Structure formats: structure tokens, C-alpha cells
Amino acid sequence: MKNSCSRIILVAVAVWLGLSAPARAEDVEAGGALFKKYCKRCHTLTEQTLVGPGLSGVTSRRTEDWLSAWIKDPKDMIAKGDPDALGLKKKFNIVMPTLKGVEDDEARKSIVSFLKENDKKMSQ
């Protein structure tokens, strides 16, 4: 009993640490480089629309899982009927391409870290 209690506490602490850990600087940097390479031609880091929406504030509009799934395969999200994806499609009329180079989970994680860091900066 005592043992399983402490195990639960340990797991809870590990999850909490994982969730609240600040973005690692190297992830943010790698994400920034990927953003420049793959995303910048269509997205600003402000609220200004380019081809797609400006990405300032996007990490408070969407969850990390949503962002990662979207960046991996926007068409699939639309095909699955995700309500936010359908809303974007309606608004922008063109669909973001499924990009080569962001298939890797780590790559998308670093892009999301970069977007989070950008949101932190923009809200200061």
C-alpha cells in the first residue's frame, strides 16, 4: 500500500516536471531553423496573415498535440473532420501542404517549442 502510494506520487511528480519544464534552448534554436526553412514563406510570427495565419498566439489557441498533428499532416486533420482544422480550411480557402522534413516527432516538437517561445516574447 505504502509502496503503491509513493509510486503514484513519483509518477505525478515526473508528469508535472515534464509538463512544466521550460523549453530547452537547443530545441527552440532547432525549431527556429526549421521554421525558417519550411514555414516562413507562408507564416509570420506576428498576427499578420501571409499565405496562412500569423502564428503569434497559436500556442494558446491550440494544444501541443494538435499543433504537432497539424504540422505533420494538415490534410489528414481535415479528412478526419477535426473542427478547428475544418474552421481553418473554410477561412483560408487553401490547405497547408503536408511538408517533407517534419515527419520526425522531434522536429515538430522543436518547432512547437520555438512557437511557444515566440508567444512568450510577443506577450511581454
Residues that bind ligand HEC (CB under 6 A): 38-39, 41-43, 51-53, 55, 58, 61-62, 67, 70-71, 74, 88-89, 92, 94-97, 99, 102, 111
Cell representation of residue 41? 514563406
Residue in the shown chain whose Cβ atom is closest to ligand HEC: 52
15 versus 79: smaller Cβ distance to ligand HEC = 79
Could you give the angle at the alpha carbon of 83 between the alpha carbons of 19 and 46, nearest 5°? 60
6 versus 60: smaller Cβ distance to ligand HEC = 60
Least separation in angstroms between CB 26 and ligand HEC: 18
CA distance 23 to 20: 9
**Cβ neighbours of residue 38 closer than 8 Å, sequence gap 6 or more:** 99, 101, 102
Least separation in angstroms between CB 8 and ligand HEC: 35
Cβ burial of 116 (10 Å; 0-12, 13-18, 19+) is: buried
Q: Check: CB of residue 113 under 8 Å from CB of residue 27.
A: yes
Least separation in angstroms between CB 106 and ligand HEC: 13
Q: Check: CB of residue 31 under 8 Å from CB of residue 118.
A: no
23 versus 42: smaller Cβ distance to ligand HEC = 42
2 versus 106: smaller Cβ distance to ligand HEC = 106
